[in-house]
Chains A and B, each alone.
Chain A
């Protein structure tokens, strides 16, 4: 199994990452790795540090210590969000953060910003290069909108879309940045069964197109049914990392979710 490819199999690696807010230790000594092409889940009770970890991965927070490598490049230390986006990490937000007063199409077009280059001069002269680029942006954005399944007029303002559509629009906007890793913060929150099912299919199709997916979810069932591997956080520490089948019956996980001693049989506890 030790082929040279093995070196390159991990897209993202964290080792010993820690983050404190004042006296509160939000994350301590987190080490994990996400392989290329997998769907990786991150679960844990409220306040376990999932979103904090997410914000470190996307540059919104700086880790206090630890190493962070992505796509064989080191990103430890101070790194701005746009640099990480450039590197290929795109994200959505737990509480949707769309550009509310811009149209659905424009939202996705903004996602193309970092893969395009027209500046002031191109905007003013609208020369052939700028026009071609603009055309390509629009085409790409339209394609992504229908890919995620938004069939409303693309000129609808983002704030006028339905909740489910807004969630998918956020995914389309993130996909527009050509990510290597798509990081989704509770994408199924507030969705009904059908919407969740559609989302699952969308995520599988995104993975099939070669993009690695990182998921934070509350819905344990959803994440265990979808992910290849799952890490569990509790009080800022990683308490487990494994395939879903193993996670289901990990005693530490069950303790974290159900309180101290598991009284009911472990398996039934989480699946219900």
Chain B
């Protein structure tokens, strides 16, 4: 029984990280109809920048929480600038280009970022300093650390804030308008370039926070961490219904749970034939099955074809 609960806790923590990154994918997709392939690398840069800031400040005598806060702010700012830069350089000039052209520039950006990171931070795995006390709590048989609790709380808080932003502010309304119909939004006086830039920056900010969360949770940072995380988060976004923000949140949490439960039980389910290495297979298998039965994802709208 406690293994089950433990898997659920782990899945929930991992899922909140996925959800944060998935939001970045889904927001950009909702507005531009574009898979921002470089988004995973933004997560990595966020983690790396935070690592450097922490390494710089760790002996300064500041309290750990302050160091963490400073590193968080710097890494969010850097990532927002990065997100803006990516949109400006790699996507904006191609807004009316054939559909796959921005996909290739996105791949190019992601290769560039990965290799720049490799030059700056090296190929090795870095230990992410644990600034928070490593206390853990028993939750009716499952262990949850304070870091994990913090991750879930911050993620929930940020996602709630994002929903408020989307539904309660002028900016949010403009973003939804652009997603609905860009040309009509322009006619209504929405500055589409600003809205798109802000979307990228918001997504990147979430990515930076998610990068720090995942590094704090596992205690490891690596220049290659962005691509696999990005891939999973994108899967989560599609699972929930890409372009739909609530879908990304649900999809992220669900994917985290599926993976964690899959890893825990796949051996039993397959009579010992498949080991926990197959957790990714499990995730993709669920994704494919969901899409076969609900082609636009769990919360995606059923788009009626317009003729």
Residues on A lying within 8 angstroms of B by beta carbon are 21, 51, 54-55, 58, 60-61, 93-94, 97, 185
Report A-chain residues with C-beta under 8 Å of the C-beta of B307.
51, 54-55, 58, 60, 93-94, 97, 185
Q: Which residues of A contact B305 (CB under 8 A)?
A: 60
B interface list, Cβ under 8 A from A:
304-305, 307
The 6 closest A-B pairs by CB, nearest first: A60-B307, A55-B307, A93-B307, A60-B305, A51-B307, A21-B304
- Report Cα–Cα, A61/B307, bound state, in Å: 10
A sample of 12 inter-chain contacts (CB < 8 A) reads A21-B304, A51-B307, A54-B307, A55-B307, A58-B307, A60-B305, A60-B307, A61-B304, A93-B307, A94-B307, A97-B307, A185-B307
* Least CB separation from A185: chain B residue: B307
> Once the chains are docked, how many angstroms separate the CA of A185 from the CA of B304?
18
In the complex, what residues of B have CB within 8 A of residue A55's CB?
A: 307
Instruction: Collect the chain B residues with CB atoms within 8 Å of residue A54's CB.
Output: 307
Which residue of B has the minimal Cβ distance to A54?
Answer: B307
Complex Cα spacing A58 to B307, Å: 11
Residue of B with least CB distance to A94: B307
Chain A min CB distance to B21 (Å)? 32
Give the residue name and chain of the A residue nearest to B98 (CB): A101
Main secondary structure of the interface of A (DSSP, over half): loop
Bound Cα distance from A94 to B307, whole angstroms: 7
* Closest A residue by C-beta to B304: A21
Q: How far is the CB of B295 from chain A (nearest CB, A)?
A: 16
A61 to B302, CA, bound (A): 13
With both chains docked as a complex, state the minimum distance between the C-beta of B49 and any C-beta of chain A, in angstroms. Answer: 44
Alpha-carbon separation in the docked complex, A61 to B304 (Å)? 9
- Least CB distance from B307 to A in Å reads 5
A125 and B302 CA atoms in complex are apart in Å by 43
Report the Cα distance A54→B307, complex, angstroms. 9
Contacts of A61 in B (CB 8 A): 304
Q: Which residues of B contact A51 (CB under 8 A)?
A: 307
Q: Beyond the given A21-B304, A58-B307, A94-B307, could you list 5 further A-B residue pairs with CB under 8 A, ordered by the A residue number? A: A51-B307, A60-B305, A61-B304, A93-B307, A185-B307
Residue in chain B with minimal CB distance to A101: B98
Chain B residues with Cβ under 8 A from A58's Cβ? 307
Distance of A51 Cα from B306 Cα, bound (Å): 10
A140 to B304, CA, bound (A): 35
A184 → chain B closest CB, angstroms: 13
Residues of chain A contacted by B304 (CB below 8 angstroms): 21, 61
Q: How far, in Å, is A238 (CB) from chain B's closest CB?
A: 21
CB distance from B183 to the nearest CB of A (A): 14
- Tell me the smallest distance from the CB of B301 to a CB of chain A, in Å: 11
CA distance A18 to B307 in the complex (A): 18
Q: How far is the CA of A93 from the CA of B305 in the complex (A)?
A: 13
Complex: A158 Cα to B307 Cα, angstroms: 19
Tell me the smallest distance from the CB of B302 to a CB of chain A, in Å.
10
Q: For residue B48, give the distance in angstroms from its CB to the closest CB of chain A.
A: 43
Q: Report Cα–Cα, A60/B307, bound state, in Å.
A: 8
In the complex, A117 Cα to B121 Cα: how many Å? 60
Give B85 Cβ to nearest chain A Cβ, in Å.
32
B96 vs chain A, min Cβ distance (A): 14
Q: Chain B residues with Cβ under 8 A from A97's Cβ?
A: 307
- Cα(A51)–Cα(B307), bound, Å: 8
How far is B305's CA from A60's CA once the two chains are assembled, in angstroms? 8
In angstroms, Cα B305 to Cα A51, docked, is: 12
**B262 shortest CB reach to chain A, Å:** 35
Q: How far is it, in angstroms, between the C-alpha of A231 and the C-alpha of B272 when the chains are bound?
A: 67
- Smallest distance from the beta carbon of A186 to chain B beta carbons, Å? 12
Could you say which residues of chain B place their CB within 8 Å of the CB of A21?
304
Residue of A whose beta carbon sits closest to that of B305: A60
Distance, CA A60 to CA B304, complexed state (A): 9
User: What's the minimum C-beta distance from B27 to chain A, rounded to whole angstroms?
Assistant: 26
**A119 CA to B161 CA, complexed, in Å:** 56
Query: How far in angstroms is the closest Cβ of chain A from B304?
Result: 7
Q: Complex Cα distance A12/B304, Å?
A: 25
- In the bound complex, CA of A217 to CA of B304 (Å): 23
CA distance A220 to B305 in the complex (A): 27
State how many angstroms separate the Cβ of B300 from the closest Cβ of chain A: 15
Nearest residue in B to A21 (C-beta to C-beta)?
B304
